A and B are shown apart, each in its own frame.
Chain A
């Protein structure tokens, strides 16, 4: 067996693949953040809580309405997106003309409130959510046992990421959105309802977080704190990728998943800090992030 740095190469492939799976969650979450920041200039700290709400929505749908995982993949993000739209209408709308800091404080406060409410109701140990029947079991790839569900996570996440990038960067709708952030008054003059478009954009970003939450539910337990643990890492991913850069968020998400995965093999104790070390280095060398445009 060939060894790389004392680790059998086969084991290394397994770890790379696992890194890619974790990376898909980072990518999906940081994509939502990047969409919201890029188009609304809001730093959405509620993102982690909305990811958690997605998982809980899937749990409620299954246990109270009998809707299975596949329906939850569509319905749960829609429900959470609707709550996002309400948050945008009620609160965020009033902050667009103020400094970023106000949006950050508001969404951070909301995140604490939402997490507190769920924790008060459901405790901190979490609730089980079964892996859907069709995705149980796994494939023996020779170098590792890959659970079918994790393979599905990579495929779905990549599809959603690329579709989102395509819509925003390559279609007419995306062009309107980008134009509306540059110059809302002018775009409105063309007869486009800009406030509604912004509400829908925020709701879409929130929906992406909820989708990640539904995807995470069968792997990690549905837990009120699941988002709080993840959101800080995801923010680091967004900063490394470049605030607001859609492609940056996707590529960096997958890349850092892999870097983290490798750290878990070579220096496991540092695996939860490695992303922040990279963040510091990137900020020193390229303050706008890897894919960011310097203003």
Chain B
């Protein structure tokens, strides 16, 4: 069952016909593919389509004579479904750029198709750092965050405050494995030890059995290398089984503000997490959230949504400079050659391996008394400067990087 949702296309009418010729088939088609209905739907989902649309509007594509159309589709977190959608999009619908694609297993599959078809792939939702490492592609830009940056942020902070013995609760697919691997490396580099791990099927519902195994390991820190409702249920059930009261601590290695919202502050308070973007960090972000939330059922933008906005904005800038969207590799090269700048991610750059570089932030979830209401959830603990936030270029093993 392939559910391709034909989202209301944002057809921005073209005033001047003669400019049209520079775009392949006369229109720039952006395909936003993610989990529209499952466990990752709130943190990406329809909100990412909205973010892409806002980027196109704010860029002023219409005034600049660029006709842009946005499509949305549900990959159901399945690589085969995602691959089929992307092939149809590129071959039949003439889509020029694929955006978002959370769920690393799907993103890795799409990465290869986009490279083969020479289109552009802008990743916001997926996490596996392999996408700019051994699997890097001249057609791919990895925008928002990755497993290395999460491990570097949260893992570092916890090991340095004394959490030396770790047990991993890992989602059994590409993303979980990558996050576990990158975090274990950080832990061991800082003199910590991994005492055990268990890999749970994705998506899961009941984590009590795995949590009990984590408890028996006597590790100080239980690292949750999962995401979305898996993380929510793990944290909830850990509190039920008295794991934190028993002296062990949880590290949510990837958590989004929508997860904190679903957990509620009484359960989530005190969690430490690394994010690339938070809506209440500055005026620009607040203004974006104020515009975004009412159109997204009140759900505030996550870093994935912000990343989609920012990535699409930069893509359009590159097209404007290049005056063509036909050659995906050339477009990505252009994106790498101009510095990035927009209101949500500020100034940054895209490295040769496709990694977008910007600061990351270490947040702590507020206590219920500190919060002014729904969505006021984070306290900033530390800012990780852009040059330290991501894996050094030489360590990734990306063949595009010439040594």
Contact = CB atoms under 8 A, between A and B. Distances in A.
Interface of A: 8, 11, 14-15, 18-19, 21-22, 119, 121, 123-128, 130-131, 137-138, 144-145, 147, 149-150, 219-221, 223, 225-226, 229-230, 261, 264-265, 268-273
A212 to B, nearest CB: 13
A268 B203 CA distance: 13
Nearest to B262: A125
Contacts of B215: 145
B10 interface: no
| 6 tightest A-B CB contacts, nearest first | A125-B262, A272-B201, A128-B264, A264-B209, A124-B41, A125-B42
A18 B208 contact: yes
14 contacts: A15-B212, A18-B206, A124-B40, A125-B43, A125-B262, A126-B232, A128-B263, A149-B240, A150-B240, A225-B37, A230-B205, A268-B199, A268-B200, A268-B201
How many chain B residues sit at the interface, stated as a range, is 35 or more
Contacts of A124: 37-42, 45, 229
Given A11-B213, A144-B212, A268-B200, A126 B264 contact: no
B359 interface: no
A266 B229 CA distance: 24
Contacts of A21: 208
Contacts of A150: 208, 240
Contacts of B201: 268-273
Interface string B240-251: 111000100000
A226 B262 CA distance: 14
Interface of B: 37-43, 45, 172, 198-201, 203-206, 208-210, 212-213, 215-216, 228-229, 232-233, 236-237, 240-242, 246, 258-259, 261-264, 266-267, 297, 299
A62 B215 CA distance: 33
Given A131-B240, A271-B200, 19 more contacts: A119-B37, A119-B41, A123-B299, A125-B42, A125-B228, A125-B229, A137-B242, A138-B242, A147-B240, A150-B208, A221-B236, A221-B263, A225-B38, A225-B39, A265-B213, A268-B199, A268-B210, A269-B172, A271-B209
B229 to A, nearest CB: 6
Which of B45, B212, B263 has the most chain A CB atoms inside 10 A of its CB?
B212
B163 to A, nearest CB: 21
